[in-house]
Amino acid sequence: MKKTIKKKYAPGTKRQKILDTALKFILDPRAGTQNSKHTFLVEEIGLTETEYLEVLNKATNGGLVDSAWN
């Protein structure tokens, strides 16, 4: 069964708002484990892996990129 994402989550003019909301979601400890957050954002909301990693990097104040380079 092929899933489609809702129009309000589709890439376009409101995409930045979705990414900002995803940032809040990642930072919320009540939302579950990081694995479940990743799965929800990528599979249900339709973020690309690149978008997810950018949001995760913002959530860690750049710590993700710093740890990858060091």
Q: Where are the domains of the chain?
A: 12-61
Q: Is the pTM of this model over 0.85?
A: no
The pLDDT value recorded for residue 15 is 81
Q: 37 and 31 in contact (C-beta within 8 Å)?
A: yes
DSSP 30: G
The pLDDT value recorded for residue 6 is 65
The pLDDT value recorded for residue 35 is 92
Tens-digit pLDDT string for the chain (70 aa) = 566 666 666 666 588 888 889 999 998 999 899 999 999 999 888 888 999 999 998 888 875 555 555 5
What is the C-alpha to C-alpha distance for residues 17 and 22, in angstroms, rounded to an integer? 9
